Structure 1
Amino acid sequence: MSERESMPYDLVIVGGGPAGLAAAIRFKQVAPDASVCVLEKGSEIGAHILSGAVVDPKALDELLPTWKADGCPMGEVPVTDNLHWVLSAKKKYPLPHLMMPPLLSNNGNFTGSLGNLCRWLAEQAEGLGVEIFPGFAAAEILFHDDGSVKGVATGDMGVARDGTHKADYQPGLELHAGYTFFAEGARGHLTKELKRIFDLEAKCEPQVYGIGLKELWDIDPAKHVPGRVIHTQGWPLNDAWGGGFLYHQANNQVALGFVVALDYSNPWISPFEEFQRWKHHPEIAAILQGGRRVSYGARAINEGGWQSVPQLAFPGGALIGCSAGFVNVPRIKGSHTAMKSGMLAAEHAAEALAAGRKSDVLEGYEPAVRSSWIADELKMVKNAEPAVAKFGGTLGTLVGGIDMWMRTLKIGLPITMKHHADHKSLWRRDLKQPIAYPKPDGVLSFDKLTSVFLSNTNHEEDQPIHLTLKDADVPTAINLPLYAGPEQRYCPAGVYEFVEDAADPSGQRLQINAQNCVHCKTCDIKDPTQNINWVVPEGGGGPNYPNM
């Protein structure tokens, strides 16, 4: 007999991001008397939300048509200026706006904090009767005897690192539902299990990812241009692809960041160091000089596009938002498509429950997504990411741009390019040159630990390590000698560290500083042996982003 208590709901949603909250709101709009709860592993709604962000309000307009008048914070700063720079080491080369495919325009979009948007959406959801439980991490999928999803269980609280129960131990809670939506974001750990159990990726390309690093800066008001949006490509990357962004948001603040695609082959690359180096470009530094960094964070981003969208519905549940991978990579946007997917899933769940059905497959959800404007938008850009991955930044951008222009004219290239899983792309250490990154100056560039401090990351130290190894010998037996221990470079938070250990045959051992983890999931994605499995820590742990 389980010691866990259980609570029944019509709908349970795992994840309090844009997709999960939009699904909850839409469900209550359609079925006001039905019960729905949202589980959020962060200490509050928005605590783990990180995005640029420039938001297309298309889904907001459909979900809550009066959102601007109702005080939504995302409406404060409309995009006024859209710039795209190709960088060399010292110069910028602006791309004329007329060269850009029309879908890359930011007219009518807004820039601001996606975390604050989620906080506002949570208020709207609670006003409709949605129950939201922040600080509760969904740790386990529950199943009926027939194999359909029954719900989820939250993780136990008060478990010591050695697995024993501390004085404040509390068992997890089971939440049973007619349907369960998984809105965990990119590389969700339960979503990964669902994909395996139900073979949801049997007919799609593998999902591929980028790592996005972000900072908030207060800058000199004389340099601030509210609504100006800048994207860059080129320098400093020469053995990987990606680019930077800098958005002028409210209150003399800029959001800036750097994205590196995780299909890079050079094991010596550090995405964090590339970001720090990018800030020293004369054009970027000129904006930041005299300013003050106030926040830092990192998060993996889906980059697979339309051909990597898995099967979305399975008995008793559905994938929504970035759990399914609806990011439009060239537009650097995904919140609007995430929200729309949640809304469509909610409508079909409400319809099924009204008809007396539970725990079956929401047959109408997937066709609805594949005939929606989500599909129209993602099909337009489906070859952009794989073109750059195959041909490199310059030629790939040209090929992808031509394809987008052709699709705008309804004559796209008659192919759908393929992907290769990111963890398979790393070359041996001896086949690539080590990279000598400059030391941080403490003015524009900083070290990882100083940065993690600004993310307000905190975990209960005496708990099981949530960055688990399938084989504890692999890091020093394979990753270190073959790939120079890439985990110490691809992690943007200093979680992985090789330290001297005479007891190990290699003379070193891998130390996991789990308390530093910002929940970006990069290790789970990029580890070349797929030996790292990210699972949830105690609820409420991780970063606490105030305005990201």
Structure 2
Amino acid sequence: MEREAMEYDVVIVGAGPSGLSAAIRLMQQANAAQQTVTVCVVEKGSEVGAHILSGAVFEPRALQELFPDWQTLGAPLHTPVTHDDIYLFNNAEQARKLPATLVPNTMHNSGNYIVSAANLCRWLAEQAEGLGVDIFPGFAASDIIIEDNVVKGIIIGDMGLDREGQPKDSFTPGMALHAKYTLFAEGCRGHLGKQLINHFKLDADKSPQHYAIGFKEIWDVPAEQHHAGLVVHSAGWPLDDASGGGYLYHAEGQQVVVGLIVDLNYSNPYLNPFEEFQRYKQHPIIRQYLKQGKRVAYGARAIAKGGLNSLPKMTFNGGMLLGCNAGTLNFAKIKGNHTAMKSGMLAAETVAQALFAGDTGGKDLTAFAEHFSNSWLFDELYRSRNFGAAIHKFGTFWGGAYNTLDQNLFGGKLPFTLKDEQPDYAMLKPASSVQPISYPKPDNTLSFDRLSSVYLSNTNHEEEQPCHLKLKDNSIPIQVNLAKFAEPAQRYCPAGVYEIVEEQDKGPRLQINAQNCIHCKTCDIKDPSQNITWVTPEGGGGPNYPNM
């Protein structure tokens, strides 16, 4: 197909913290060196921030380096953390508040801010555009241009295809964006990043990446229940069959954000992460802040939490993986925004150094590895390398005790490394060997159903387009996943995309409601047969988060 093409020095895929920080740092470096660099950022969301979802307690370290005058420039960091409450939930009614000495140092948040990551990205985009970066929201990078084993750019997805992939009257072919270097900052489990890791074997000799699914809701609450700056974290109940933890942050404007993180290495195929989140909100510690409030937003997103042990090689011929696309999140802090930003800044400095020296592109910029290893980002990930593996191996209580000892007494520098070599998708037990889990019906006050929740995510896709949830083998959902695992896609999807439908005289079939998809990528991660591949739908489709 003939495609229009545009040429840039650097193309960045994804307008999240890492991609925007890379774009900004590139232009800062170019201005300081009096060099001309052309940079563009493509973003699949309808606007910058539309697909950004994060807790988020934000550590401003990377922002301080990127913009020392961020306060004067009006960065949307308005709510400093005032204090932390950390609990161990024993059961549905009881909890123990943990003293600071029994909590890993990484969980303390003095000097941090409660923010909307989506609004922070919108602000970063404004700064990038002010420096001369081209930003194209609503354009999904659907494919990679690889020639002679060198990444030469990306293809923007075609618009106006019908369900069978045939052009409609509105068909518009996607453009080719050529670049000397292409930086992939798609977020957790980026579909192009996944291809690059496989193509260039970037994860050779690494532990498999590990994931969680993170839920988030925003509530408007009465003034007497709101304490701006309060951070609440919890471990334990309701996750009896999984590891993870909950959070509740008191943001600005009488709003509370509440969420639950469920590790995707759970073994019971009947576990429903969405329903676990609904139960979580019923605990008295959480309920006291939500009662008489109104839920105004909902979303969910996968989280890459393997840390340093699972971090792939981040460079290859013609490009790099950045941020959560590589897995730079520090799960010991439950934070990935500052680490993603720093990875983008380091990448930008490496690319700028090469371009200013006359580099014409296409190389494997291995100098990045040295920049990374000499940075605070590497030091931070190294110190927390055992955090997730300890919880997976020893459980929430003893794993938490180990991590408190490791972080508080040894600064994360015990002379050994714990590894977790079992992929999350391989952890499910046969349904016949476990007990089904019975979840209560929603009360529509604190707990809700999935479809009403998806409505609050403002999710929309053009219905007449190819399904972006691809099955490698159409027989596997029924013959394997349903027969052996009671088809867990019905439960692990937080948006009700997958249903088993009984058809008269035909038996069961898997129905895919792709219109509901909120782009969390959980299906791509947790499917026990690894039969589902998430690819980009038309640009602009998916959730439209206002300030998540």
Please point out which of 460, 463, 466 is paired with 1:464. Answer: 466
Structure 1 unmatched ranges of 5 or more: none
Q: Which amino acid aligns with 2:509?
A: R
Determine if the alignment matches structure 1 residue 64 to structure 2 residue 67: yes
| Pair 1:108-2:111 in alignment | yes
Deviations 1:259-309 (A, max 9, x none): 000000000000000000000111111110100000000000011011111
Corresponding residue of 1:376: 379
Structure 1, 305-314 or 351-360: larger mean CA deviation: 351-360
Alignment of 1:521-540 (within 5 A): 521-540=521-540
Instruction: Please give the alpha-carbon distance, in whole angstroms, between the structure 1 residues aligned to 2:505 and 2:41.
Output: 47
Residue equivalent to 1:96: 99
Distance of aligned partners of 1:411 and 1:317 in 2 relative to their CA distance in 1, 3 Å threshold = closer
Q: C-alpha displacement at 1:98, in angstroms?
A: 2.3
- CA shift for structure 1 position 99: 2.3
Residue of structure 2 equivalent to 1:137: 140
Residue 225 of structure 1: aligned partner: 227
The match for 2:245 is 243
Summarize deviations over 1:17-50 as a string: whole Å, max 9, x none: 0000000000000114200000000000000000
For normalisation by structure 1, the TM-score amounts to: 0.98
1:48 corresponds, among 44, 48, 51, to 51
Are the equivalent residues in 2 in contact too, given 1:304–1:419 (CA < 8 A)?
no
Shift of 1:367: 1.7
Q: 2:318 aligns with which of 316, 326, 335?
A: 316
Report the Cα distance in structure 2 between the residues aligned to 1:63 and 1:29, rounded to whole angstroms.
9
Cα distance in structure 2, aligned partners of 1:354 and 1:394: 52
Q: 1:403-458: CA deviations, max 9, x gaps?
A: 223431x7514233233211000000011100000000000000000000000000
Contact 2:207 2:419 in 1 (8 A): no
How far did residue 471 of structure 1 move?
0.3
Q: Is this contact kept in 1: 2:392–2:420, CA < 8 A?
A: no
Q: By how many angstroms is 1:97 displaced?
A: 1.1
Match of 1:21 in 2: 20
Classify the secondary structure of the residue corresponding to 1:153: strand
Identity %: 55
Stretches of structure 2 that go unaligned for 5 or more consecutive residues are none
Identify the residue that residue 414 of structure 1 maps to in structure 2: 416
Aligned 1:132-531 pairs, distance under 5 A? 132-144=135-147, 146-357=148-359, 358-408=361-411, 412-502=414-504, 504=506, 507-531=507-531
Q: Aligned with 1:471: secondary structure?
A: coil
Q: Give the residue type in structure 2 aligned to 1:108.
A: G
Tell me the CA shift for residue 396 of structure 1: 1.4
2-structure distance, mates of 1:315, 1:28? 22
1:411, 1:213 → 2: CA distance? Answer: 32
Q: Pick which of 534-543 and 370-379 moved more.
A: 370-379
SS of 1:69's partner is helix
| Matches of 1:416 and 1:495, distance apart in 2 | 36
**RMSD after superposition:** 1.0
Task: Indicate if the aligned counterparts of 2:116 and 2:547 stay in contact, CA closer than 8 A.
Answer: yes
Structure 1, residues 440-491: CA drift from partner, whole Å, max 9, x if none? 0000000000000000000000000000000000000000010011000000
Instruction: Name the aligned partner's letter for residue 390 of structure 1.
Output: K
Please tell me whether the aligned partners of residues 84 and 230 of structure 1 are also in contact (alpha carbons under 8 angstroms): yes
Question: Which residue identity is paired with 2:290?
Answer: L
Structure 2 counterpart SS, 1:136: coil
Q: Once structures 1 and 2 are overlaid, which stretch shifts more, 517-526 or 415-424? A: 415-424
What is the aligned length? 542
Q: Is the 1:205–1:419 contact (alpha carbons within 8 Å) kept by the matching residues of 2?
A: yes
| 1: CA distance, partners of 2:266 / 2:501 | 25
Question: Distance in 1 between the 2:119 and 2:268 partners?
Answer: 37
Contact preservation (8 Å) 2:350, 2:367: yes
TM-score (norm: length of structure 2): 0.98
Contact 1:386 1:419 in 2 (8 A): no
Task: Measure the CA separation in 1 of the matches of 2:121 and 2:298.
Answer: 19
Whether the aligned pair in 1 keeps the contact of 2:212 and 2:305 (CA below 8 Å) is yes
Query: How far apart are residue 401 of structure 1 and its match?
Result: 2.1
Is this contact kept in 2: 1:270–1:490, CA < 8 A?
Answer: yes
User: Residues 335 and 102 from structure 1, CA distance in 2 versus in 1: closer, same or farther, beyond 3 angstroms?
Assistant: same
Cα separation, 2, equivalents of 1:379 and 1:519: 30
Q: 2:82 is aligned with what amino acid?
A: T
Q: Deviations over 1:353-375 (max 9, x none)?
A: 11221110112112211221111
CA contact (8 A) 1:208 1:419 kept: no
**Secondary structure of residue in 2 paired with 1:31:** helix
Shift of 1:503: 5.4
Q: How far 1:100 moved relative to its partner? A: 2.3
Contact 1:150–1:179 under 8 Å retained in 2:
yes
Distance 2:373 2:410 in 1: 17
Q: Which amino acid aligns with 1:407?
A: F
CA distance in structure 1 between the partners assigned to 2:105 and 2:334 by the alignment: 14
Which residue pairs with 2:546 in the alignment? 546
Matched, 1:127 2:126: no
